[in-house]
Structure 1
Amino acid sequence: KKGLLERLKEGPVVGDGSMCMTLEKRGYCRAGQWTPEAVLEYPDAVKQLLREYLRAGADVLQTPCYASSDGRLKRGNIIYTKKSQTSEINEAACEIAHEIAQEGNALVCGGLTPVVSYSKGKDETIVKGEFEGQLAGFIKRKDIIDFILAEFFGHVEELEICVDVMKKAKLPIACTMKLGPIGDLNGVSVEECAVRMAKTGAVLIGINCLFDLDTCLKTLKRMRDALDKEGLKTPLMCQPLGWRCPETANMKKGYLMLPEFPFALESRQVTRFEVHKFAREAYNLGAHYIGGCCGMEPHHIRAIAQELAAERKLDPPVQGTCPPLGYLHNALSLRKEKLKKEFWMSLKAGSGAPFNAACVEPYA
């Protein structure tokens, strides 16, 4: 099968979507620390969710091991009958993602996340050690990993340390930050973050989580402009939230500051056609890897795959991308105007909640 770099040269690559948040809704993960013990306790549930993303048209399945680092697992106080360590969880996550990826033609991406030792100001040697602990499982299973990703970083400095460690795996590296308009958690601008990320040597850089579709598009534009100014050609990736949260666009912690987080966000869910629009605009801005983070469900990933089907040059199309608007192909009971994509693309959906506010006052 073609690797990440080959696929990026040929057209856009579609990532998968929400894991921890969706598993929590299904009863397999606990809110709060969002630690990934489900890969050990409920592997069949994790496989089923990954299978849904594959069927939706995802080209990449990420190892379901977000927050699997020694410090995060200890802080999360995970409940498991055996001794659970980072390496055990990450190896299990690799095997699960690989098994499902073989059902289609998907790549497997090993994910690394920020560590507690950095946030506590520990020595860089300790910080690197915690990243090495995450990476060890992926190095051990290099036979089934196609590339590795550093994601959800709030400090560009910590990201640079992580990528430096990741080079030991000798695999293609991607990296993303939870980056909004005001820059990283230390106030480093979007533009500087983009340039520094590209200069790490990562083959793919971008943003994920914390912010909604519109905010991510604005941030992507600034990143692309900054890279162009420096003559850097690193392709972009974007994995936004599946909820509308415009009132938190200029807050460093994004949607985490909403009173509805994490148990009452359903009324903010974006429609699949909003995702169609997002995928097209993100691609036009230079994002050649587009997936989703928290709140982006399989039908949203399907919308990305369908919107970019022509650019992906799939012949024949993989499962989930054919027909181009598969959810209308057998809709004889719908009104005539609803059989046209234009109707749905121009729809301003209502919330159905008469007394609900359009937005709320976020926490300070």
Structure 2
Amino acid sequence: MYLLTRGRGEKKSNICKMEVRAPKRLKDWNVSPVLSLNPDHLRAAWRTSHPKSKRVGWPVAMGKKGILERLAEGPVIGDGSYVITLEKRGYVKAGPFTPEAAIEYPDAVRQLHRDFLRAGADVLQAFTFYSTDGKLSTSEGGKVFTSADLNQSACDIVWEVAKTKPDTLVCGGVSPTPCYTQGKGKAAVQKQFQNQCEIFVKNKVDFLLGEFFGHVEEAEWAIEAMKTCGMPVACTLRIGPRGDLDGVSAGECAVRMARAGCDIVGLNCSFDFHTELKTIKIMKDALAAEGLTPYLMTQPVGYHLPEVENSIVGYYDLPEYPLALEPRLLVRFDCREYARKAYELGVHYIGGCCGFEPYHMREVAEELAPERGGIRPPGADKNSNWGDALAESTITPHVAIRHTKEYWETVIPASGRPGGRLTNELVAYEGQLK
């Protein structure tokens, strides 16, 4: 900890506790080692010796603000895809999509957390998707993975990374359990969630998230279980404008979640951002009509999926799910459009789900930097904002002129695939849904 002074030998004043990383050369900062410092002077000194810090956010207050306080102040940037990204990198098996990598390949999970943090994420979610004992009841290669072991390892990994940037929030997540669709009842389902939550509480996560629920009833049960932990609760459904898998409307789903005690109501996965924003608008209007005011959250998939807007299940209806979706991938500037439209709609928690890579989330953070006090992501030093550094390219003159926002906003990317189609016919699964 350090105290910044007005000048060598001058009186110290207006002291406020903050936590910072020590500079490599103290003489560059004009500081003396004590247990407090003046934040205004610190920022001034840091910016004097590091001009780019006017655009890159740091240092941060010691007593970090919680998720609800931050949402009240403006946009919060979530992280992106873990399961699908780690599957692409060779650490998750497509099909089960379970998180054994938290034990088998901790370095892979750790690096992805680092990548999202550098991209500007305010929140890192522990890699605990599908990590209930009900989902992990099968063994792989003679190994048996327990929910307790996986959740603990995931918490250890995420905190190791989060502590490198002390204002980072850590989220513990629960997701659907087979107990629900197997009809084992509320007590059995909530027991699965409670087992996870006990580990999250022990590891002092900042808030809890229930995600990927197709049935609002199961989401309500998850919210009730999470609320007993005494911390903020977020919950997201994987639904579109038609509502949940039981035919409950999107608006009614939102109202039921809020009345169950959910502080942050939202959507994740299954649909692209165009559809997800239409759905969250329906939910927002329904909440307002009932006088309910939870914060709103969106974490769509990172693909263009126009065919599935009216599907009840989303992109699982596409013949190319899950192993041939790359031609549909959002380009980075699509993510700016998503971030801007979501925030203008009133969504304050803005993240991504399957397909959202760290570079996608970096563009979300860049787009919303003006609403965040001009704070750009830690990786801004290497980010060519709207391609501005392309002006320095010596490859060809054609590349060098592509350095403006106006250019990239008008480009329509092609897939380059011979005989490629704009859309595909859907596979009809609705009659098989439980």
Contact 2:172 2:200 in 1 (8 A): yes
Q: Deviations over 1:202-238 (max 9, x none)?
A: 2111000000111111111111111122222211000
Which of the pair has the greater relative contact order for Cα pairs under 8 Å at 6+ separation? 1
Aligned counterparts of 2:140 and 2:83: Cα–Cα separation in 1: 14
The within-5 A match list for 1:223-234 is 223-234=283-294
The code of the aligned residue for 2:158 comes to A
- Report SS of the residue matched to 2:211: strand
1:79 offset after TM fit, Å?
4.3
The code of the aligned residue for 1:3 comes to G
Name 1:117's counterpart in structure 2.
179
Give the one of 359, 367, 370 matched to 1:299: 359
Contact 1:70 1:133 in 2 (8 A): no
Give the one of 128, 141, 147 matched to 1:65: 128
Gaps of 5+ in 1: none
Change (3 A) 1:215 1:87: same
- Report SS of the residue matched to 2:423: coil
Name 1:49's counterpart in structure 2.
112
Change (3 A) 1:50 1:80: farther
The code of the aligned residue for 1:16 comes to D
Give the one of 385, 390, 393 matched to 1:326: 385
Name 1:89's counterpart in structure 2.
150
Name 2:11's counterpart in structure 1.
none
Aligned counterparts of 1:323 and 1:233: Cα–Cα separation in 2: 39
1:312 maps onto 2:372 in alignment? yes
Name 2:68's counterpart in structure 1.
5
| Structure 1: 4+ residue segments shifted above 6 A | none
1:327 offset after TM fit, Å?
6.2
Aligned counterparts of 1:102 and 1:327: Cα–Cα separation in 2: 30
Aligned counterparts of 2:170 and 2:273: Cα–Cα separation in 1: 25
1:318 offset after TM fit, Å?
4.1
Contact 2:119 2:358 in 1 (8 A): yes
Root-mean-square deviation (CA, aligned residues, Å) is: 1.6
Contact 1:306 1:325 in 2 (8 A): no
The code of the aligned residue for 2:162 comes to A
Give the one of 413, 423, 426 matched to 1:349: 413
* Identity fraction in percent: 49
1:323 offset after TM fit, Å?
8.0
The code of the aligned residue for 1:150 comes to G
The code of the aligned residue for 1:330 comes to A
Name 1:98's counterpart in structure 2.
159
Change (3 A) 1:356 1:178: same
1:276 offset after TM fit, Å?
0.4
Contact 2:239 2:314 in 1 (8 A): no
The code of the aligned residue for 2:378 comes to Q
1:249 maps onto 2:312 in alignment? no
1:123 offset after TM fit, Å?
2.2
Aligned counterparts of 1:78 and 1:124: Cα–Cα separation in 2: 29
Gaps of 5+ in 2: 1-63, 429-434
> How many pairs align?
359
1:354 offset after TM fit, Å?
3.0
Contact 2:242 2:250 in 1 (8 A): yes
1:244 offset after TM fit, Å?
1.1
Aligned counterparts of 2:191 and 2:206: Cα–Cα separation in 1: 23
Change (3 A) 1:23 1:324: closer
- Report SS of the residue matched to 1:221: helix
Aligned counterparts of 1:328 and 1:165: Cα–Cα separation in 2: 46
Normalising by structure 1, we get a TM-score of 0.95
Contact 2:79 2:123 in 1 (8 A): yes
Name 2:232's counterpart in structure 1.
172
The code of the aligned residue for 1:176 comes to T
1:324 offset after TM fit, Å?
7.9
Name 1:131's counterpart in structure 2.
193
Q: Deviations over 1:2-53 (max 9, x none)?
A: 2111211221000000001110111111000100000000000100011100
The code of the aligned residue for 2:151 comes to N
Change (3 A) 1:288 1:97: same
1:221 maps onto 2:284 in alignment? no
Aligned counterparts of 1:269 and 1:78: Cα–Cα separation in 2: 31
Instruction: Name which of structure 1's ranges 319-328 and 233-242 shifts more when overlaid on structure 2.
Output: 319-328
Contact 2:386 2:404 in 1 (8 A): no
The code of the aligned residue for 1:49 comes to L
Name 2:253's counterpart in structure 1.
193
The code of the aligned residue for 1:124 comes to K
Aligned counterparts of 1:150 and 1:53: Cα–Cα separation in 2: 20
1:279 offset after TM fit, Å?
0.6
Contact 1:247 1:359 in 2 (8 A): yes
